[in-house]
Amino acid sequence: MSSVFRILFYTPEIPGNTGNAIRLAAVTGSELHLVEPLGFDFEDSKLRRAGLDYHDLAVVTVHKDIEAAWAALAPARVFAFTSEGETRYTDIAYEPGDVLLFGPESVGLPAGLKTDAHVTATVRLPMLEARRSLNLANSASIAVYEAWRQHSFANAPST
């Protein structure tokens, strides 16, 4: 199965979120890219538990910094997900190979990444006012499934 979309977590902190993203990548055929430093190691029991037995089914790449990630992912379009995003996630016409970028759990994407030349657009998931953010793994799931839905769930068995 070929990878359709690429999830990029910039310096993720919580092992359970990355474990859930590993499962997400495995079940959707997406790739998961992680930018160091990570707030955990791959032997972390919470990461292993959240990823269950999907670790061997997912494509996961760790990059030493954001520049290494950009080099590996170029020339893809990059959609940076942030609560201050200018475009609603459902208003994007996703294309195979697009990168869905998410920031660390505690602070979200740094301002410099939101305006980085590699970023095609900043994107938001609608939320009620006075709410800070959604869980990282949940946000990535919503975005990946919308992108995949737009492509009729390519590579998934028809039911």
103 is in an annotated binding site: yes
Structure tokens at 67: 């520049």
133 is in an annotated binding site: yes
45 is in an annotated binding site: no
Known binding-site positions for S-adenosyl-L-methionine: 103, 125, 133
Known binding-site positions: 103, 125, 133
